[in-house]
Structure 1
Amino acid sequence: MLYATTTPEQKRAHLRRILTPGAGRQFPGTFTPLSAPLIQEKGFDGLYVSGAVLANELGLPDIGLTTLTEVAHRAGQIARMSDLPTIADADTGFGEPMNVARTIHELENAGLAGCHIEDQVNPKRCGHLDGKATVDTETATKRIRAAAQARRDENFLIMARTDLRAAEGLDAAVERAQALVAAGADAIFPEAMKDLSEFEAMCSAVDVPVLANMTEFGKSELFTREQLAAAGVALIIYPVTSLRSAMGAIERTLDTIAAQGTQEPAVQEMMTRARLYELVDYEAYSSFDAGVFDFDVPERFTDQGAQG
């Protein structure tokens, strides 16, 4: 009720314990606090908040238009609703090294367990599009060094993302990853890997956990958890899956209403009133200190009666 039962510090320590090479920990992406307890209930290891998804939710493309305030606020709303650790996409750190330092403070304050900062030129673009531009190694390492020095909780995870693979090849990406680890990165996010052998090469080249991005319609094949774990991957994200699933369902239901004049044929595919009330823990709020704050739960979680 209201918030997770574990503190941000406990979540960060837990994240450190579970991120080991070959663990293949699964972090579904989410853009709404409502899905956070659902992801936890399904037995996943953590939550991921994609910068692209937050931009898209605002009706914007993923080209660096969102602000630190917007990202920290929404990511914090999501993190508070689950006992799982939440990792946020911090794009290029929202500015120069001093801005990167402030970004880390704001994300710590918001209750995040970690974030990743990338080596693209700002404004950035989606990691699975062509034409990306990356900064030089000195600039990239300054961002990570600033992030590592700024954190106040030693367990807050500083992950470095490199987009160098697309433009300069695997060897260049590996070399960049090693430099980022030397600068203080706790984990590496190699974007747009071509196949499992490239994940294996990256995992072998660094002595920190490696992330695999399993985004649909991207450069990488959608490998299974078992395949990625065998390659040495510690963490797997599914950044846009929930948004694409939700928007697909919304579009299909709108088509049904437009074509048939009612949503009735689509109701069987919807989450029921009872299930929604369960997710938001309606009953706990109803019973909390009834002498001060009390109301009845309509129909005791049934899906009969008035709709709303």
Structure 2
Amino acid sequence: MAGLLAASTSAADKRAAFRAGLESGHIQRLPGAFNPLVAKLIQEIGFEGVYVSGAVLSAELGLPDIGLTTLTEVSGRGHQIARVTDLPVLIDADTGFGEPMSAARTVTVLEDAGIAGCHLEDQVNPKRCGHLDGKAVVPADEMVRRLRAAVSARRDPNFVICARTDAAGIEGIDAAIERARAYAEAGADLIFTEALHTADDFEKFRTAVDTPLLANITEFGKSELLSAVTLDKIGYNAIIYPVSTLRLAMHAAEAGLREIHAEGTQSGLLDRMQHRSRLYELLQYERYNEFDSDIFNFTLGRNQ
């Protein structure tokens, strides 16, 4: 029963697909998944990949996004999500969880977790959310060492190492461009420039940098909510929607809980709930039933 208990596509094939997608000339859309069930939905709807956000993982744990999560927590959730989807999974690895040697270990652990790629950022460790003010970045040569360590530890050459720079809002776009070029020279396969503001900013970066580029289009941040079509025309290779599904879910959960608290019943909320039958469809209950029947519903012959 391929693809039932886990994805039928191997980690190696998912990494190859991610590489091919980045080189395809068509933008790869990666919504954030805050749990494995959301990843299954992302695949069913037809997106090209799945993103796992560090900010979302922190929020799920009831923590701010200021570098409090650990490699174990991040890789564990990444593994849970990657194992249920045939899509490549890109994960937020913050600053690599320490010094360059830690970044190298991070890559090996994420490879073992079945992830297709990760991004490492040039913020000072511990980091903070990329759309907050008051960020600080390390010197470019320190980030280069971080990236070289990560690249050297990679065993699958198709594992995508993305370099994120937070320098645009601190040192300016020109400085961020220079950093991006240095990071590509150090071996980064993909460049993620955080908190660009306008389409012109994205175009300026695309014109100046040859490496594949990723755009972070997150709500309530510093960037315009540019469409995938617009970014595709500019020439971007990938787009992430990191927190969208969590924000949608939490808004709905809060509204529903407030109504239950006020009314004492959920009866007025049924049209806003996923039906049991739809959940079962997404989980493939019917296939599990067939699998169970094939294994356990049998009779023994007389000579056995």
Same fold, TM-score > 0.5, yes or no: yes
**Alpha-carbon RMSD:** 1.1
Displacement of 1:262? 0.6
- Show structure 2 runs of 5+ residues with no match: 298-304
Matched, 1:249 2:277: no
Q: CA deviation at 1:293?
A: 4.6
1:185 corresponds in structure 2 to: 188
Tell me which residue corresponds to 2:301: none
Partner residue, 1:290: 293
Tell me what 1:114 maps to.
Answer: 117
Partner deviation per Cα, 1:73-103 (whole Å, 9 max, x = no partner): 0011001111100000000000111111110
| Residue in 2 that maps onto 1:304 | none
Q: How does 1:225-236 map to 2 (within 5 A)?
A: 225-236=228-239
Residues 19 and 25, structure 1, Cα contact 8 Å, conserved in 2: yes
Contact 1:22 1:231 in 2 (8 A): no
Say yes or no: does 1:26 pair with 2:62.
Answer: no
- 1:266, 1:12 → 2: CA distance? 41
Higher alpha-carbon deviation: 256-265 or 47-56? 256-265
What SS class does the counterpart of residue 159 from structure 1 fall into? strand
Partner residue of 1:260 out of 258, 263, 267: 263
How far 1:204 sits from its partner (Å)? Answer: 2.0
Give the Cα separation in 2 of the matches to 1:293 and 1:264: 39
| Helix, strand or coil at the partner of 2:72 | helix
1:194 aligns with 2:178: no
Deviates more, 1:258-267 or 1:281-290: 281-290
Q: Of residues 137, 143, 157 in structure 2, which corresponds to 1:140? A: 143
Amino acid at match of 2:276: R
Aligned to 1:301: none
Q: How does 1:131-170 map to 2 (within 5 A)?
A: 131-170=134-173
Runs of 4+ in structure 1 off by over 6 angstroms are none
The alignment status of 1:270 with 2:273, answered yes or no, reads: yes
Structure 2 residue 83 is matched with structure 1 residue 48: no
Q: Any idea what the Cα deviations from partners look like across 1:17-73, whole Å, max 9, x if unmatched?
A: 111385221100011001111101111000000000000000000000000000000
**Whole-angstrom CA distance in 2 between matches of 1:80 and 1:167:** 38
Aligned position for 2:300: none
2:84 maps to a residue whose letter is M
In structure 2, C-alpha distance between the alignment counterparts of 1:164 and 1:31, rounded to whole Å: 27
Output the amino acid matched with 1:170. I
The CA distance in 1 between the partners of 2:189 and 2:221, in whole Å, is 25
How far is 1:206 from its partner? Answer: 2.0
Rounded to whole Å, the distance in 2 between the matches of 1:21 and 1:65 is 36
Pairs within 5 Å for 1:211-230 = 211-230=214-233
Question: In the aligned structure 2, how far is the partner of 1:85 from the partner of 1:43?
Answer: 13
Equivalent of residue 102 in structure 1, options 102, 105, 113: 105
What is the aligned length?
294
- Is the contact made by 1:197 and 1:231 (CA closer than 8 Å) also made in structure 2? no
Superposition deviation, residue 292 in structure 1? 3.8
Structure 1: stretches of 5+ with no match in the other structure = 295-308
C-alpha separation in 1, matches of 2:180 and 2:129:
19
Between 1:277-286 and 1:198-207, the stretch displaced more is 198-207
- Structure 2 residue 250 is matched with structure 1 residue 240: no
**How many angstroms does 1:194 deviate by?**
1.4
For 1:171, which of 174, 180, 190 is the aligned residue?
174
Secondary structure of 2:225's counterpart equals coil
For residue 267 of structure 2, what is the amino acid of its counterpart?
A: E
> Structure 1, residues 86-123: CA drift from partner, whole Å, max 9, x if none?
00000000011111111000000000000000000011
Q: 2:118 & 2:206 partners in 1: Cα distance?
A: 19
**CA apart distance, 1:202:** 1.4
Find out whether 1:67 has 2:70 as its counterpart.
yes
Could you say if the C-alpha distance between residues 250 and 124 of structure 1 is closer, same or farther in structure 2, counting changes exceeding 3 Å?
Answer: same
What is the distance in 2 between the residues matched to 1:135 and 1:121?
5
TM normalised by structure 2 equals 0.95
Confirm or deny that 1:203 pairs with 2:172. no
Residue identity (%)? 58
CA shift, 1:150, in A, is: 0.5
> What secondary structure sits across from 2:128 in the alignment?
coil
